[in-house]
Amino acid sequence: MVRFLIVTLGCAKNEVDSDRMRALLLADGFEETADVANADVAIVNTCSFLASATEESVEATLSLAEERAEGVRDLPIVMCGCVPSRYGDALASELPEVAAFVRAEDEDGIVAVVRRVLGLGESDGEERPETLRTVEGTSAFVKISEGCDRFCTFCAIPYIRGRYHSRPADEIVSEVRSLMEGGVREVVLIGQDTGVWGCDLGEGETLASLLRRVAEAVGPYGGWVRVLYLQPEGMTDELIATIRDVPEVLPYIDIPIQHCSARVLKAMGRSGSPEELHALFARLRSEIPGMVLRTTGMAGFPGETDEEAEELYEFISEEAFDYCSVFAYSQEDGTAAARMADQVDEDVKLERTQHLIDLTEQLGFAATASHVGERVRVIVDGIEEGEDGPELIGHAWFQAPDSDGAVHIPYGEATVGDIVTVDLVDSFCYELVGELVGEGE
């Protein structure tokens, strides 16, 4: 049996791509291992969104090469994803330790690449699996699009992943049904810009129409639908009404604003103003009961003044987002912002970043604590050994998987994959403590 190891770096979209490659390899007769010592080939699915992510990807690859050198097994390494897509042919001379490079758009050909580096010859022609996913767990990310047309001046994604294209609705819904049949209870729709899904598919194809179809697929299983990475312009009347009126679609919206200053947003190649953003969030909270909001803020964009940094701080404080990720601006090769003359001093950038992090943690911890006393439904994701014995680990509807903390429940009559009713009794940071509610309570 020929065994492969997959190392995935970066965002949830890369996790989806790794799932696809895993399914293709398993269908061709390979076996997966989590132990490098038992692997016959290693696949590194890389991230290159930031320079630091590229460095991490290269370091992970070189670390595998070092383990190979110290061991007795030959271990060809295949580098996939964003780093090959961004740097292309230059990698072969820079990383001779790697046997093959596979761009993101070519990952469905992983079987042929792995067979070639292992000297196994061509595949025996087994049928391609109908659904290219092998998901373990109760939540699954589902990509609904690829690429991006926004060309924000700080972002390299359009150069890495290409122009925006929507995945067909029938294909998405088929995958969702298969995932639910396999035990998944929550699907999280993701893409670089989910709000414009369908813009290239024809009249009537919108994110709202897709959400309604996906909701029909998860409804019989009592499942949830969550959508991430919505730009402010994507919040149409139709979408707001769908999130409000379709029970399976969670009232949880992730809108990465990056900044609020009209001048900074324009320099970023984005639109908006503090007044427009305040109005949008006020509308969402007014029209969608229980609305939970996540956003992203960037500190230290070129030309950002002390006054504009404070403007972003005050905006986030006023909105009191439930969750907010904060990033320091990174000067990425090939982007327009990297060529701007007024780069912010690194120490100033980091100081502004930490200032925002301190604020968002204060707000986030308070938002988490506000749920104490509620009775909620929780998806059980796993069982872990706690200080007082085994405990169930799950997440409530207002917690996106792998992002927003978890609910810790003393071990009881439940198992992984169950959706249970829980009384929330305590909180710490972004974590919550709950107690199982018995039948009839």
Count H helices and E strands in the chain, helices first. Answer: 13, 18
Annotated binding residue 148: yes
For 367, list phi and psi in degrees, rounded to 5.
Answer: -65, -40
Q: Alpha carbon 39 to chain centroid distance?
A: 27
429 is in an annotated binding site: no
Determine if residue 199 is labeled as part of a ligand binding site. no
- Say which residue the tokens 């990383």 belong to: 95
Q: What is the CA radius of gyration of the chain?
A: 23
Q: Is 80 annotated as a binding residue?
A: no
Known binding-site residues equal 11, 47, 82, 148, 152, 155
Binding-site residues for [4Fe-4S] cluster sit at 11, 47, 82, 148, 152, 155
